[in-house]
C-alpha cells in the first residue's frame, strides 16, 4: 500500500466517491470559515473593515452554491464570480481567504468541463475584479500591475490544480482500461489455445481411428467375400486384419499418451510420430483391404521437418482411407514431387469406365486434411478429376537445399564480394 501523497490522494478520492455529500459539507464549512476570517483582514496601517451582514450573506451564498458544483459547475462559477465582485465593490481587501470559494469553483469547473472553459471563466473573473478594483478601490491606481498579477495568479492556480487532477484521473482510467483489456485478452487467448488444442487432438484421433477402422472394415468385408472360394487368401487377409488392429491400438496409445500429465509415468516408451517413411506399411495395409497403391517420387528426396513429415503422411493416409471407403476403383496413385522450396503431393484414384467419380461422403476427412496443410503453411485442394475419379493435392513448404544456395554463390562471386 502506498503511504505517500499519492496514497492519501487515492484514499481521499475513494472516500469522496462513497460519501460525496459529506465531503462537500466539510469543504463548504472550511471555505466559509476562510471567508469569515478573510473579511476581517485589511492592509497594513489601515483600519479593519466594519463587518456587516451584507458581506457575510454574500460570502455565505457563494459557499452554499458550491454544493451544486457537480451538476451545474458553470452556474456555480458565475455565482461565485458575482459574489467576489460584489465584495470588491464593498471595498474589502481581496485576500486568498476571500478568493477561496471562487478558486474552489474554478477548480471543480476545470475537473468537470475541461481547461478551455475554465480558462475563459477565470480570465473573465480576473478582468471583472480588476475593473471593479479600479472603480471602487482608491488604492488600486497606485499599484495596478502587482494587484492585477496577484488576481491572475490566484485565479489561474486552481486551473493548474484542476488540470493535474483531470490528467491523473484520465491516467488512472486508462490504466484500469488496459488492465481490463489485458485480462479479457488473456482469457480469450486461453480459450483460443484450448480450442486449438481440442481441434488438434480431434484431428489426430480422427486420422488414427478412421483410417484403421476403414481398413479393418474393408479387410473384413474382403475376407468374408473370399471365405468360401479362396481360404488361403482369406487367411492372409485376416492376418493383415490383425496387423491393422494392432497398429490402430499402437497409434491410439501413442496419441493418448501425449495427453497424459507429465507427473504420470507412461507404461512404456511412446513411438515417434509417423512420417513418409511409413508409406510402405500404409501401402501394404491398403493392399490387404483390396486397394492397390502405387507410389512414385520425382526429384531428390530429402529429410523433412517433423511437422511437415507428419502432415504429409496424415494427408496421404486420409486420402487413401477415403479411396478405400468411397471409391469404385481398386487402385490409387500417390505422387511425391520434391522441388526447391516445396513438396507436392498428389493422390488420385481412377474410376472404372462408365462409373461416376465417387467423392468422399459427409465427414471431417477433407476438412482435417485442409486444416493440416494450412497449419503447416501449405495449400490444399480436393475434387473430382475431369477424366473421372477423385484427386487430392497439397503443397507443403520446404527449406531450400544447401547445394543450390552454394551453387548460386559460386556462380556469382562478385555478388559474394
Q: Is the pLDDT of residue 92 over 50?
A: yes
pLDDT tens track for 351-363: 554 444 445 555 5
Cell numbers for 61, please give them. Answer: 451564498
DSSP summary character for residue 71: T
What whole-number distance in Å separates Cα of residue 122 and Cα of residue 107? 10
Helix (H, G, I), strand (E, B) or coil at 97: helix
Q: Is the pLDDT of residue 402 over 70?
A: no
Rounded to an integer, the average pLDDT of 190-217 is: 74
Which carries the bigger pLDDT value, residue 283 or residue 212? 283
Q: Is the pLDDT of residue 39 over 50?
A: yes
Q: What is the predicted pLDDT for the residue at 361?
A: 54
Q: Is the pLDDT of residue 332 over 80?
A: yes
Q: What is the pTM of this model?
A: 0.47
What whole-number distance in Å separates Cα of residue 398 and Cα of residue 377? 10
DSSP summary character for residue 398: -
What whole-number distance in Å separates Cα of residue 382 and Cα of residue 348? 10
Cell numbers for 50, please give them. Answer: 466594519
Q: Is the pLDDT of residue 404 over 80?
A: no
What whole-number distance in Å separates Cα of residue 159 and Cα of residue 249? 78
Q: How sure is the predictor about 334, in pLDDT bands with cuts at 50, 70 and 90? A: very high
What whole-number distance in Å separates Cα of residue 97 and Cα of residue 334? 95
Percent of the chain with pLDDT over 90: 11
**CA-based torsion, 169, 172, 175, 179: positive or negative:** negative
Amino acid at each position: 500500500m502506498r503511504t505517500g501523497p499519492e496514497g492519501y490522494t487515492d484514499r481521499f478520492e475513494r472516500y469522496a466517491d462513497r460519501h460525496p455529500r459529506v465531503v462537500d459539507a466539510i469543504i463548504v464549512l472550511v471555505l466559509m470559515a476562510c471567508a469569515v476570517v478573510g473579511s476581517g483582514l485589511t492592509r497594513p496601517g489601515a483600519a479593519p473593515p466594519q463587518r456587516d451582514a451584507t458581506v457575510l450573506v454574500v460570502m455565505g451564498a457563494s459557499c452554499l452554491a458550491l454544493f451544486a458544483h457537480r451538476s451545474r459547475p458553470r452556474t456555480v462559477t458565475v455565482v461565485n464570480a458575482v459574489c467576489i465582485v460584489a465584495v470588491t465593490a464593498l471595498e474589502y481587501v481581496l485576500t486568498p481567504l476571500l478568493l477561496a470559494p471562487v478558486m474552489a469553483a474554478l477548480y471543480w469547473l476545470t475537473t468537470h468541463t475541461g481547461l478551455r472553459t475554465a480558462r475563459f471563466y477565470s480570465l473573465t473573473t480576473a478582468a471583472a475584479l480588476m475593473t471593479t478594483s479600479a472603480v471602487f478601490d482608491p488604492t488600486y491606481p497606485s499599484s495596478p500591475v502587482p494587484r492585477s498579477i496577484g488576481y491572475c495568479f490566484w485565479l489561474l492556480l486552481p486551473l493548474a490544480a484542476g488540470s493535474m487532477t483531470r490528467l491523473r484521473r484520465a491516467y488512472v482510467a486508462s490504466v484500469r482500461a488496459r488492465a481490463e483489456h489485458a485480462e479479457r485478452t488473456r482469457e480469450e487467448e486461453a480459450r483460443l489455445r484450448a480450442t486449438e488444442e481440442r481441434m488438434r487432438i480431434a484431428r489426430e484421433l480422427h486420422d488414427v481411428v478412421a483410417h484403421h477402422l476403414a481398413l479393418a472394415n474393408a479387410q473384413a468385408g474382403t475376407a468374408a467375400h473370399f471365405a468360401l472360394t479362396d481360404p488361403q487368401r482369406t487367411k492372409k487377409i485376416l492376418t493383415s486384419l490383425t496387423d491393422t488392429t494392432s497398429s490402430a491400438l499402437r497409434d491410439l496409445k501413442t496419441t493418448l499418451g501425449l495427453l497424459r500429465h507429465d507427473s504420470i509415468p507412461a507404461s512404456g516408451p511412446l513411438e515417434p510420430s509417423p512420417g513418409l517413411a511409413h508409406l510402405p506399411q500404409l501401402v501394404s495395409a491398403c493392399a490387404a483391404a483390396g486397394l492397390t497403391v502405387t507410389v512414385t517420387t520425382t526429384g531428390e528426396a530429402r529429410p523433412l521437418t517433423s511437422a511437415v513429415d507428419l502432415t504429409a503422411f496424415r494427408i496421404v493416409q486420409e486420402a487413401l482411407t477415403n479411396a478405400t471407403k468411397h471409391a469404385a476403383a481398386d487402385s490409387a496413385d500417390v505422387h511425391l514431387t520434391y522441388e526447391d522450396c516445396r513438396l507436392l503431393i498428389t493422390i488420385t484414384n481412377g474410376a472404372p469406365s462408365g462409373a461416376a467419380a465417387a467423392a468422399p461422403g459427409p465427414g471431417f476427412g477433407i476438412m482435417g486434411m485442409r486444416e493440416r496443410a494450412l497449419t503447416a503453411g501449405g495449400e490444399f485442394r480436393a475434387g473430382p478429376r475431369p477424366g473421372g475419379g477423385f484427386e487430392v493435392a497439397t503443397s507443403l513448404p520446404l527449406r531450400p537445399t544447401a547445394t543450390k544456395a552454394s551453387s548460386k554463390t559460386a556462380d556469382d562471386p562478385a555478388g559474394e564480394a
